[in-house]
Amino acid sequence: MSDAKRRFPKPPLPQWLILTPLRPLLRVWFRPRVRGLELVPKDRPVVFVAKHPKGFLYLETILLGFIVYWVKRDRPLIRPMEQQNTSIHRAPILGWLRRNVNSVPATEEAGLATLAAGESVLIFPGGGRELYGPPDRLDWNGRRGFARIAAKARAPIVPVAIVGADRQHPWRLPVGGKRSLWFPPFPLPVRFDYAFGAPMVPPMPDDADAVADFAERVAEETQALIDRTVAARRGGR
């Protein structure tokens, strides 16, 4: 079957029922602009990598899934990988959604199993470092797990820039430990710019030095993609 005619299956019905009504609302609220989507392969799962957004509702991640998969379903479904034991995951409603709607645990085993099943994964290598760090700046120093997953799965990595996501909650109030209150509690209607980089082919997994070098190159390319997207945004493009 040609790429133009291929249709990947729908997610499980509960996810479909929960997420489908959000699509028009998120598009109106965040008015996304998209660049480079044609670079994302349609014939195989990939490892998407991006800067962790400064927020807690994950609406920019849901919107990313809509952009890549939800309408034409001509690419594999994206499953975000995230920690499962955070305070957000223990919240009564939001926690249930983040545990059960499309995410998988942030472990190498879960990532490899997802890719082997024909679905893509989305990884935020910086995690909490970037949640509390400066906007639009990566902090992946020493983080190489995403590169190992890609190498072992023989899956290309696709860098993603989600510019604007760091400005949806401009104010943060620390309340002890790593907990925070974000203001306003519902995100501002800032415009999101999504940019996709060219797929990057990982080295063989048994060469640790090559995997480490590859992780650095992916980080450099992802930061460069963010910088180009920020510049285009400031230039009104």
- Domains annotated for the chain, with CATH where assigned, are 13-234 (3.40.1130)
- Predicted TM-score of the model (pTM): 0.92
Percent of the chain exceeding pLDDT 90 equals: 66
Question: CA-CA distance, 223 to 137, in Å (whole number)?
Answer: 7
Under DSSP, is residue 78 helix (H, G, I), strand (E, B) or coil? strand
Three-class secondary structure of residue 193 per DSSP: strand
Cβ within 8 Å of residue 158, ≥6 positions away: 39, 40, 41, 46, 47, 48, 49, 196, 197, 198, 199, 200
For residue 216, what is the enclosing H or E element?
helix 208-234
Helix axes 145-153, 108-116, angle to 10 degrees: 30
Q: What is the pLDDT of residues 52-81, one digit of tens each?
A: 998 878 899 999 999 999 888 999 999 999
